[in-house]
Every structure is written in structure tokens, then in C-alpha cells.
């Protein structure tokens, strides 16, 4: 019985050791996420003052990667995701019809506690099956009273070209905060 408890404790400790929350400050934002993987990867960041854009690159040694962009617009923009949803649905169906992807899905989801949308694609290149995920949400979206229009100034866009489980972990754990 003691051996069983010891094994359970070791498994729990190993699982906790494999998860690592990444935190980085770039421009006026703190960005954190947990890919929940033991694979080695590097995180780099850059602030583009001219375009008020923060960029975080996640690169694995096997050429899989993701980019997180936090884009601060200079004026309030319509942050309703419906036009993006319609456009991405058309693009996804077009890529399926052309055969550039073998499968894909478009869905709305909560990202960082806010309404967002995501597109997942599965494609084959040189006999190798790969995944990509594109996601978008507005960090500061709010509804204008009496007009029922959503506006925002800060959007977060994510492009991930790595296995679906890592993309899901990224989308489920990302948090962007103003410093």
C-alpha cells in the first residue's frame, strides 16, 4: 500500500513539474500562458512603438511555432466578431473546396475570459499532416450604451502552427493584462 501511495505522489509531482506558466512583459502588457508540455521551446518578445504592437514568438526546436500579437489601435473600432466569423467561414470553405486543407473548423469560444473566435485547420504537406490555429479576441471590448454596438481598441491575434493540444492549451490559458 505504501508503494502505491509513493507511486501516486511521484506521478502527481511529475505532472506538476511538466507544466510551466510562461510570463513575459512586452510594451504595456503582461502576457502569460501555459502550454502544458515538457518539450523545449523558446519565447521571445518585441514591442513596436510605431505601431503600438506587442509580439510574442513561441518556437519549438522542430520548427513548430506560434505568434501572439497584441495590437493597440489609436481609435475605437467595432469589435463585433460577426464580420470576422462570416469572412473566416467563407475562407475556410474556400480552402476546403480547393483542397489546400483536409479539414477545418470555425467556432466561437471564450479566450482570456472574453468572447473570441478560432479557426483550426488540418493540412498535409510533403506527406506530413500539420495543424494550424488562428484566433482573435478584443481585450477591452465594451458595448456602447443605447446603441448595442461593441467597440474596442486592443485586439489580440494568435497564429499557432503546432499540434492541436498545444493550441488548445494556449487558447485556454492565455492572459493579457495592461501593466
pLDDT digits (tens, 9 = 90+) for 164-178: 999 999 999 999 999
What are the structural domain ranges in the chain?
20-178
Nearest to 137 by CA among 174, 89, 94, 179: 174
Q: Which residue do the cell numbers 513575459 mark?
A: 24
pLDDT at 12: 43
Do 119 and 92 touch, CB atoms closer than 8 A?
yes
Per DSSP, 102 falls in state: S
Question: pLDDT digit of tens for each residue in the chain (179 aa)?
Answer: 455 343 343 444 444 445 689 999 999 999 999 999 999 999 999 999 988 999 999 999 888 999 999 999 989 999 999 999 999 999 999 999 998 999 999 999 999 999 999 999 999 888 888 999 999 999 999 999 898 899 999 999 999 999 999 999 999 999 999 98
Bridge pairing between strands 149-161 and 142-144:
antiparallel
Closest CA to 179 of 22, 44, 25, 56: 25
State how far the Cα of 111 lies from the Cα of 73, in Å rounded to an integer: 20
CATH number of 20-178: 3.40.1000
Amino acid at each position: 500500500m505504501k508503494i502505491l501511495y509513493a507511486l501516486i505522489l511521484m506521478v502527481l509531482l511529475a505532472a506538476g513539474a511538466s507544466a510551466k506558466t510562461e510570463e513575459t512583459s512586452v510594451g504595456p502588457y503582461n502576457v502569460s500562458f501555459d502550454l502544458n508540455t515538457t518539450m523545449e521551446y523558446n519565447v521571445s518578445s518585441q514591442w513596436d512603438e510605431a505601431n503600438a504592437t506587442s509580439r510574442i514568438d513561441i518556437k519549438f526546436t522542430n520548427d513548430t511555432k506560434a505568434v501572439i500579437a497584441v495590437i493597440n489601435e489609436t481609435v475605437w473600432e467595432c469589435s463585433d466578431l460577426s464580420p470576422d466569423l462570416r469572412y473566416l467561414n467563407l475562407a475556410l470553405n474556400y480552402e476546403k473546396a480547393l483542397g489546400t486543407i483536409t479539414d477545418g473548423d470555425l467556432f466561437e469560444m471564450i479566450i482570456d475570459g472574453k468572447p473570441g473566435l478560432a479557426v483550426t485547420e488540418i493540412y498535409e504537406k510533403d506527406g506530413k499532416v500539420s495543424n494550424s490555429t488562428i484566433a482573435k479576441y478584443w481585450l477591452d471590448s465594451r458595448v456602447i450604451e443605447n446603441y448595442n454596438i461593441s467597440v474596442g481598441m486592443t485586439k489580440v491575434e494568435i497564429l499557432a502552427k503546432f499540434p492541436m493540444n498545444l493550441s488548445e492549451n494556449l487558447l485556454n490559458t492565455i492572459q493579457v493584462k495592461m501593466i
